Structure 1
């Protein structure tokens, strides 16, 4: 007992000594030295200076540089209390030296002058409004507004307050915003407006960056070596100014491949996401669009930093610690730069020739042939060899802040569609297509003011896809009718199902009867008796519509889609298959005609038609109907919104399911309910008005829309590439590649491999099979023979005459409803592959408003073949055709 007490007492004494020592040390640290440490932690003379990591390179398939980071000199300003007192004097001298040296101040400040305006990098007006609100909130312009609203309504909820404040913030003009910031940053009005803004850029950057610590402000990026040395010699005279180096993103080939390479830009959305990933949203740039955007996480690298001590003039006197930046991964693409360059040059030359000679083709006016795309695929791997387009942009314009001028900004993000539209209408005499309407009325039809934007009177929509858009990837985003390029697919379905054989023939008299309606094909004319091969060669519409008729009679309306889905032309809407080609960058994915998609398309189209008729109070035949507004309204209650949605769903169900599902009592119940709930709709709908209202809806949904779902013309039109069929050029390229290689559809990919900073392979992207179609080789060989005949003696023979490589293809001329009225003309299309015996590459070319595919589109394909086979040594010298 005595022994245990002794041990216990000893333990108590030891613990007491330990805790006394710890307590003493804590007292020393927190009380005696606490103030010193507190001062040091708040000491603005100790800074962390970030070191930006060099962004990973983007290379072509042969290692040629498409994007890289070069070392550039950068002028920075470190703020301290001492040099802040002479800020305006110092900066005035800095600006003069920059100007005298031909340098530009770094300027990605969205508030502009002369005239006052905001320039936010988005072509979407709602996004620009949200960015404007954030801009003003970040600078505290919301604070006085919030106080004023709260004083008037102390019980207002946070959500209501935010809505009201945002509404008031948008009322603050750019000029008033500028004046508020001039006052906030204590900038004297004695300076010129331009000088005020130059000071404001630096002051504003200091404020924005202060949220994440005190960092140097970049005054000028990528300055010349001589300018850097000039500043280095004057550092003692310019408190806070220093010269350092930074990696600058560079695209040595300018706009080459910009549609898939992308660009880098200031962070303008998803701020929380980027903050969580360690980005400084006030200053860091990130990949936008293309490979730069899709592979941002691989390309960005790891940021470094230095903990430094500054003297009173903002000069670094001591480096306390350092973390080295680590470069991003290098991305090597499958794209061949030489083929890409040739494709882009051929597109530009061919489109220019079409514009210069707008009436060289029958039934076409190609004066607006301003857009086109070409996709080249390795048929044995799914690798993208080239993805070219016109128009493009130069990603260098965005790599250095301030390089993007206001004129360039407007061209890229906010084009003047009003002026463009007027020029377009006048140059093409389009007012003649709209009897009795003025030019302004036609303008409002083709380029209407965007009503989805509240209080908007200036922003217009390009509803008929007329304006050339450099940031739009025409290869991956455009859904277009394939026209006759779809006919090989119809041939495959016919052969595989056994409804035709290669010898099956039709007497093509230049027309086809759809029911009792005679449909003429004036452009193609009569082709006489054709079998499968000559039908492909001559592009006979009656032949393939006859095949569709046989398919429908034997197997129903979905049989054509069943085979098209195997080739990547859409996916079964009832399946869980992801609609994608597999490409690494964002894409749309088109669909072939099928009954489910057809119902959904008609349901949406005729819902809008029904809503428009009810709002206008008159149907297509001039019959009056009680006015009902089913459009969404910001003032709608939750119950009103729910009732409107129930009516819309009922209308769509009627269109899809026909008269058996048309529930008059349900319509009456919902419209009566809406009349009671919605102050914006009529309160007193009489019994006769209600009956008339429901009859009009029945006429639209059942007699018109639903009746059209079941007509044979749907699959007949689809068989020649019209109707519901719409695909991206990327899908079409993969479809023809699948035919060429014998029926294996590969996942498309732009990336060949990922490398580390030392050039060592991190990951190789191997070919991946999506589906083996199972189509018999005999049937594919028959279709290939037809496509070979196209280039030898058919619709593309003039272009491919004398070409040293054997090629196969299919031309296409695709139209869409009311294209002539709006001043547009056919899509010129061409798909093909080469060589015939052992195919290596497949191509798809589409020229918007390009006329017939056998002219310009086919000549571009030939130029691509020439570049590719010259590049790999199969042929020597140039065999390009030029323009047609």
Structure 2
């Protein structure tokens, strides 16, 4: 027993000794670090020669389904300036030598400085004027131009609130011209007046970069990026004569195929919004580039990688003499797309050639003028997975222009972000002789109609709007954003609804006489003419409007106005307004989502349209019938008080409810009460309104909202027009492609996707994107078979037969022609040319949708693009 206790005590003592030794070592080390070496570390922390130099991570690659590189990170040489007290003393001398060497070597200074000269102007990368104004305010605030203005305002009004001060300062900042801004910065950066304007700006770029980057810690200023190997070695040999200058390497974004697929790939650009969000994520908002649009923007978090950095010691000339520590950068993920580069290229080339052909011979199709056929899009989908095989468009842009500062010229900037719509509009009007469509009006009057001054921008007298969507927009994704009427490509959908409900069979026959009665109104189809006796197959083949309007009539009589929509929703052509599901095809990049005609959406659309109509009439003081009415301005006004805003909103809500619900919602006493409150509370509407004037006012509002708008909600023509792809029906080309794919595979609607898989930097798969079914439509096989038979007849002997004559693969399709605008001829536009189809007929693999803006009829141009896509996909020789 005693021996056991002695053993325990001994073991305990040993443990105490060990712990004492450990704590002693720790205390000695702490003393050594804090006392012996503490001063050295303190000096290091305060020593300007100790810097952390960030190391950018290579951006992840974007590749096609076969591994072909669409976006890559390459290594390039970069010339930088490290700021030290010594190098700053000879900054201007050094940089003058640097600029001379760059110029002699054919290199360009890195230049993403938004303030330009010759002429003085700002170039902010946005096509929205209000966004450009916000960026201009930020530019001037970041450089301290707000400080003297704030000081002046505060000296005159010490009790001014923060919000009011900010508002007043922003107004004053916008008054500072680009030229005055430049002069202020010349003074701020102490740039001598003996230098030329161009030299001053070159110095300013470097000085400004250093200032902006100082907000987020030290970072060398890039003087020139992606310089050649020869130029890099030239500078390396001269470093002793160039204090602060150094040569390093950097990862650069490149797009080896130029503009191919730019509409879905996107581009990278300097951060210009959401600064706080990016800062929270660890970005340096003064210099970091991020993905913009497309895959680059949508998958920024996967592509960006992880930054690295080095703790270095610099000598007095700003060059690294010692590395004290390093955090390695890690590349972003590789994104492998479902896109086939070869099919994509074929689609883009075909679009370009077809549109050029339409412009060259604009009157080849009866009833069309295709001289403005400048835009088009084509989508190809794997019908068995929902994978996007190609998404092509005209126009496009080269993302390489944005990958490195300074590549985008002023001319390109104007084309992309600030087009001269006045000059474009005049050329457009003159070349097409559009003034003849406006008797008695001058070219200036027509210009102001087609491209009016944007009055939503305060004090604007020059910036115009493209209200009729005439100007080609390279950064607009026409496949995912454009909402267009589907035209006759919708007729297979009407056929499916008719067959599934049993209102028709494939053998239902009628005579197409070239017209259809909508109530007592005879609607004649001059372009198509009489098609004779047709059944379902030949009606699809010949695109018979009277046949499918008759189907719609039967559907409405048997099941009501929403029956067509209930079937269209199954195929992704819209979504029920009552649905809790987000309307989307599932694609990874931003998209719009269109809607088929249905009673709820129709009410909402009419309520919005006729609210504006009512507001216009009241402001103008006269309705369409010449009846005069007391003038009232219901438009929002910046000077409106909270009370006035509330009254206006209540009136607008009342108008919209009257349009939607009809007579029961038209409360005369409530209207009278609100109008009376408005003229008393609103200085801009201050007036006496007599009882007779009030009665007249209510009668005019009733006429617009009830007699006109609400009455139109119930007419059979709404469903009948929808059945042939007109009216309220509007979808993106992407939706229409998915609808075609759903027919092709027998009725299964897949989630569309651009991404096939994600890989790490070593090429190992991180995540594979699997096909995902959104809905099984449940449509009977015999229904699909009948519709496919009709669509095959379109290509074999119908409206697309000429294009597909002799094609070695059996295909199916449907052409479409849809009005772009109600007054399209007057404004110089013409119909959309559309085509949907799939191949091969027996076991479809790929479905397509092609839309040519102002392309005329779908049987020629649009079908030609589809055929060329099949050629590339199936390697047809």
Question: After the TM superposition, which of the residue ranges 21-30 and 526-535 deviates more from structure 2?
Answer: 21-30
Determine if the alignment matches structure 1 residue 683 to structure 2 residue 684. Answer: no
For residues 396 and 235 of structure 2, what CA distance do their matches in structure 1 show?
37
1:28: how far off? 9.8
For residues 842 and 559 of structure 1, what CA distance do their matches in structure 2 show?
26
Matches for 1:597-612 after TM superposition, within 5 Å: 597-612=601-616
Matches for 1:130-529 after TM superposition, within 5 Å: 130-529=134-533
Determine if the alignment matches structure 1 residue 124 to structure 2 residue 104. Answer: no
Matches for 1:663-678 after TM superposition, within 5 Å: 663-678=667-682
Distance 1:504 1:147, change over 3 A: same
Task: Show the counterpart of 1:54.
Answer: 58
TM-score by length of 1: 0.95
1:25: how far off? 11
* Alignment root-mean-square deviation, CA: 1.8
Task: Show the counterpart of 1:97.
Answer: 101
Determine if the alignment matches structure 1 residue 822 to structure 2 residue 807. Answer: no
For residues 114 and 441 of structure 1, what CA distance do their matches in structure 2 show?
32
Matches for 1:564-643 after TM superposition, within 5 Å: 564-643=568-647
Task: Show the counterpart of 1:8.
Answer: none
Task: Show the counterpart of 2:873.
Answer: 868
Task: Show the counterpart of 2:813.
Answer: 809
1:27: how far off? 10
Task: Show the counterpart of 2:564.
Answer: 560
Determine if the alignment matches structure 1 residue 839 to structure 2 residue 844. Answer: yes
For residues 864 and 279 of structure 1, what CA distance do their matches in structure 2 show?
41
1:22: how far off? 12
692, 697, 716: which is aligned to 2:696? 692
For residues 319 and 170 of structure 2, what CA distance do their matches in structure 1 show?
42
For residues 619 and 438 of structure 2, what CA distance do their matches in structure 1 show?
23
Q: Secondary structure at the match of 2:351?
A: helix
1:724: how far off? 0.2
For residues 392 and 490 of structure 1, what CA distance do their matches in structure 2 show?
35
1:699: how far off? 0.5
For residues 176 and 506 of structure 1, what CA distance do their matches in structure 2 show?
75
1:687: how far off? 1.4
For residues 338 and 421 of structure 1, what CA distance do their matches in structure 2 show?
37
Distance 1:215 1:802, change over 3 A: same
For residues 676 and 176 of structure 1, what CA distance do their matches in structure 2 show?
46
Distance 1:675 1:77, change over 3 A: same
Task: Show the counterpart of 1:14.
Answer: none
Task: Show the counterpart of 2:68.
Answer: 64
Matches for 1:755-774 after TM superposition, within 5 Å: 755-774=759-778
Distance 1:495 1:205, change over 3 A: same
Task: Show the counterpart of 1:81.
Answer: 85
1:578: how far off? 1.3
Per-residue deviation, residues 780-799 of structure 1 (Å, max 9, x unmatched): 10000000000000000000
Does the aligned pair in 2 maintain the 1:264–1:286 contact within 8 Å? yes
1:577: how far off? 2.0
Distance 1:20 1:329, change over 3 A: closer
Distance 1:246 1:28, change over 3 A: closer
Task: Show the counterpart of 2:10.
Answer: none
Unaligned runs of 5+ in 2: 1-21
Q: Secondary structure at the match of 1:680?
A: helix
Q: Secondary structure at the match of 2:216?
A: coil
Per-residue deviation, residues 300-335 of structure 1 (Å, max 9, x unmatched): 000110000000000101000001100000000000
Q: Secondary structure at the match of 1:74?
A: strand
Does the aligned pair in 2 maintain the 1:90–1:238 contact within 8 Å? yes
Per-residue deviation, residues 141-166 of structure 1 (Å, max 9, x unmatched): 00011111111111111011111111
Task: Show the counterpart of 1:11.
Answer: none
For residues 337 and 460 of structure 1, what CA distance do their matches in structure 2 show?
38
1:753: how far off? 0.2
Q: Secondary structure at the match of 1:48?
A: strand
Does the aligned pair in 2 maintain the 1:752–1:764 contact within 8 Å? yes
For residues 27 and 572 of structure 2, what CA distance do their matches in structure 1 show?
73
Question: After the TM superposition, which of the residue ranges 26-35 and 260-269 deviates more from structure 2?
Answer: 26-35
Per-residue deviation, residues 27-77 of structure 1 (Å, max 9, x unmatched): 998899877654432322111111111100000010000000111000000
Question: After the TM superposition, which of the residue ranges 465-474 and 18-27 deviates more from structure 2?
Answer: 18-27
Q: Secondary structure at the match of 1:562?
A: helix
Per-residue deviation, residues 266-287 of structure 1 (Å, max 9, x unmatched): 0000000100000000000000
For residues 346 and 186 of structure 2, what CA distance do their matches in structure 1 show?
52
Question: After the TM superposition, which of the residue ranges 541-550 and 610-619 deviates more from structure 2?
Answer: 610-619
Task: Show the counterpart of 2:863.
Answer: 858
1:19: how far off? 14
For residues 53 and 197 of structure 1, what CA distance do their matches in structure 2 show?
30
1:683: how far off? 2.7
Does the aligned pair in 2 maintain the 1:653–1:661 contact within 8 Å? yes
Per-residue deviation, residues 346-378 of structure 1 (Å, max 9, x unmatched): 000000000000000000000000000000000
For residues 686 and 486 of structure 2, what CA distance do their matches in structure 1 show?
46
1:686: how far off? 1.5
Q: Secondary structure at the match of 1:211?
A: helix
Task: Show the counterpart of 1:5.
Answer: none
Unaligned runs of 5+ in 1: 1-17, 878-884
For residues 521 and 487 of structure 1, what CA distance do their matches in structure 2 show?
16
TM-score by length of 2: 0.96
Q: Secondary structure at the match of 1:221?
A: strand
Aligned length: 857
1:436: how far off? 1.6
For residues 581 and 87 of structure 1, what CA distance do their matches in structure 2 show?
56
717, 720, 725: which is aligned to 1:721? 725
Does the aligned pair in 2 maintain the 1:628–1:682 contact within 8 Å? no
Q: Secondary structure at the match of 2:218?
A: coil
For residues 491 and 29 of structure 2, what CA distance do their matches in structure 1 show?
86
Per-residue deviation, residues 207-239 of structure 1 (Å, max 9, x unmatched): 000011111100000000000000000000000
Q: Secondary structure at the match of 1:427?
A: helix
For residues 161 and 343 of structure 2, what CA distance do their matches in structure 1 show?
60
For residues 431 and 268 of structure 1, what CA distance do their matches in structure 2 show?
41
For residues 448 and 495 of structure 1, what CA distance do their matches in structure 2 show?
48
736, 740, 749: which is aligned to 2:740? 736
For residues 218 and 745 of structure 1, what CA distance do their matches in structure 2 show?
50
For residues 579 and 535 of structure 1, what CA distance do their matches in structure 2 show?
32
Task: Show the counterpart of 1:12.
Answer: none
